[in-house]
Amino acid sequence: MTTAQIDKTIDARGMACPGPLMNLIGAIRQGAVGDTFDVLSSDEGSKTDIPAWVAKAKHELVEVRPDEGYTHFVVRKVR
Amino acid sequence: MEEQDKPLSLVLFSGTDDKLNAAAVLTVGAAAMGRPVNVFLQYYALDAFRAARIHGDHALSPEATAEQAPIVRAHPGQHWSELLRQAKDVGDVSIQACALSMDMFHLTRADLDPLVDGVEGVAAFMASAADGQVVFV
């Protein structure tokens, strides 16, 4: 279990690349600084795309955690 | 300027759904990563951006074999026009129609989907490409 408190869960399981990333970007833009998002994705591309985008956009990748058939990407909006 | 910050310029020539989708994925990825994207629509790609046809069937490219075509068609990814709309929403994306191709197909701005920002000549496109990559699809 993650220790981070989740403000919003984005269930993007079943979406094709780059859908989960685009949903995260949309949620971050609408969220407040400090908000933490849990993206659920079964898309293999997310494993590289979400960390790359989070680094570029200067947010924080709190945790990447495999689950059954998908992965959690916990991201905190930093700015 | 860092390579990753330079504009990405895509010349879309092919008007088939698979190539347009591949180009739209590149566009949305570059836009999400903060790179300006210039899209130049020529020939069959421009024809696919007609407002009356954009959501129609644009077939697949000749590379698609009889075995591959049904797999590509059945894939549940988003339509290329929706990906381009998302790219414009998250980033700096300009979609321009080639003036020569507009003339060739007797098109006016009113014939095109609102995703298209304007009509420009090749020199203007190259000016916006600056020292970034130009990719032909």
Local confidence pLDDT in tens for the 79 residues of chain A: 556 899 999 999 999 999 999 999 999 999 999 999 999 999 999 999 999 999 999 999 999 999 999 999 999 999 9
- The angle formed by the CA atoms of residues A67, A55 and B133, to the nearest 5 degrees, is 115
Give me the residue from B32, B34, B77 closest to A21, CB to CB.
B32
Amino acid at A53: W
Residue A72 is among the residues annotated as catalytic for this protein = no
Single-letter amino acid, residue B135? V
In chain B, what are the domain boundaries? 3-136
Q: Under a CB-based contact definition with an 8 Å cutoff, are residues A36 and A74 in contact?
A: yes
Asked if A25 is an interface residue toward chain B (Cβ–Cβ < 8 A), one would say yes
ipTM score: 0.85
Statement: B3-136 belongs to CATH 3.40.980.10: no
Tokens of residue B45, six digits: 């790609």
Shortest distance between the Cα of B104 and any Cα of chain A, in A, equals: 34
Its pTM stands at 0.91
Which three-class secondary structure state does DSSP give residue A29?
helix
For chains A and B, count residue pairs whose Cβ atoms are closer than 8 Å: 30
Number of other CB atoms surrounding residue B66 within 10 Å:
6
Q: Which of A5, A17, A13 has its CA nearest to residue A67? A: A13
Distance, in Å, from the CA atom of B29 to the CA atom of B32, rounded to the nearest integer, reads 5
A17 Cβ under 8 Å from any chain B Cβ = yes
- Residue B45's nearest CA partner among B96, B79, B90, B1 is B96
Domain definitions of chain A by residue range: 8-74
Pairing, β A36-41 against β A8-11: parallel
Does the beta-carbon distance from B75 to A16 stay under 8 Å? yes
B36-87 tens-digit pLDDT: 999 999 999 999 999 999 999 999 999 999 999 999 999 988 999 999 999 9
Q: Which of A4, A17, A57, A64 is catalytic?
A: A17
SS3 category, A38: strand
CATH assignment of A8-74, given 2.60.120.10, 3.30.110.40, 3.40.50.280, 3.40.50.2300? 3.30.110.40
pLDDT tens by residue, B95-127? 999 999 999 999 999 999 999 999 999 999 999
